[in-house]
Structure 1
């Protein structure tokens, strides 16, 4: 069973290591210096940012990271996404990674995504859906989202996380059950 705990500043060395792994760096493209990780994750860890960073744990051991937010809390990103697909009020967004290369290809990504989506409904009673844009070339991410129950709803151009990628993205979505 996957359990969760919020990222704290004590986790920054782990995040630095994960973000430096080639399989993560290819898609996340983060500054892995102590200053860069502090800049990118510190405000959220301290509650100064409206997003949440969660470590996914299996048998008490961290294996992945999920970032979750209300899309309305980030108007520029929401507006860009709305040019590609419908973004209803109450829409949530997630981003995710599996930290160690040895943990990839085992189904943990789809399990982690599914677990966070299932957690989102009670955590955010007004959440209408979860929307996830993915760089078009990230086929492993597509498969994880599909196995987690999300459906592709759009394709379009968005600003890439990694400048080596073009703007082409695919967008996945899952609606709150019963909607």
Structure 2
């Protein structure tokens, strides 16, 4: 059961209108409680595009068409996230994490999300040669997300309470782990 071919392309400002549309898409908005306005997208993603934020942000592309977004970052660059996750599980030195969304509704349920996740993990390991782990916390209720992680090769690592991305969610999270 192979995954479809997915390329990662760095996010560009020209992609911001597409990202605004994706963030407003109902299923994405349910789990990514981000403001989809152009000004908010610029504030959130502009620094990564400019290279002033160390988070790498990519579009997942299949057969020439972008379908999703994935961010790759080191926990060392996100001390609040590191502290919060460390309260429920060990975070190995140099660990990375990813955040992802499938913005095109027709791209869901066909393996593209899992393929984008696998590509992002491989890219993270290539760009951070000292990293041995990618830890990904996901709201327990977001079953599609953690199933995509497992399909991409992650294993369950921990469970506990974390501040949810969307304040309407309970704090229950599962953490999945990829190892080099």
Same-fold call, TM cutoff 0.5 = yes
Give the match for residue 20 of structure 1: 24
Give the match for residue 102 of structure 1: 106
Tell me the SS of whatever aligns to 2:82: helix
Give the match for residue 62 of structure 2: 58
CA distance in 1, matches of 2:6, 2:146: 21
Aligned residues: 176
The structural deviation recorded for 1:174 is 1.0
Tell me the SS of whatever aligns to 2:176: strand
Is this contact kept in 1: 2:96–2:134, CA < 8 A?
yes
- The TM-score normalised by the length of structure 1 is 0.95
1:79-90 matches, cutoff 5 A: 79-90=83-94
CA distance in 1, matches of 2:33, 2:126: 32
The structural deviation recorded for 1:173 is 0.5
Give the match for residue 160 of structure 1: 164
* Unaligned segments of structure 1, at least 5 residues: none
CA distance in 1, matches of 2:111, 2:147: 10
The structural deviation recorded for 1:17 is 0.3
Give the match for residue 130 of structure 1: 134
CA distance in 1, matches of 2:97, 2:122: 13
Give the match for residue 14 of structure 2: 10
- The TM-score normalised by the length of structure 2 is 0.95
CA distance in 1, matches of 2:122, 2:52: 25
Give the match for residue 122 of structure 2: 118
Q: Could you say what the CA RMSD is over the residues aligned between the two structures, in angstroms?
A: 0.9
The structural deviation recorded for 1:126 is 0.6
Of 164, 172, 175, 1:171 maps to 175
Tell me the SS of whatever aligns to 2:165: coil
* Unaligned segments of structure 2, at least 5 residues: none
CA distance in 2, matches of 1:133, 1:171: 4
The structural deviation recorded for 1:120 is 2.2
CA distance in 1, matches of 2:145, 2:173: 12
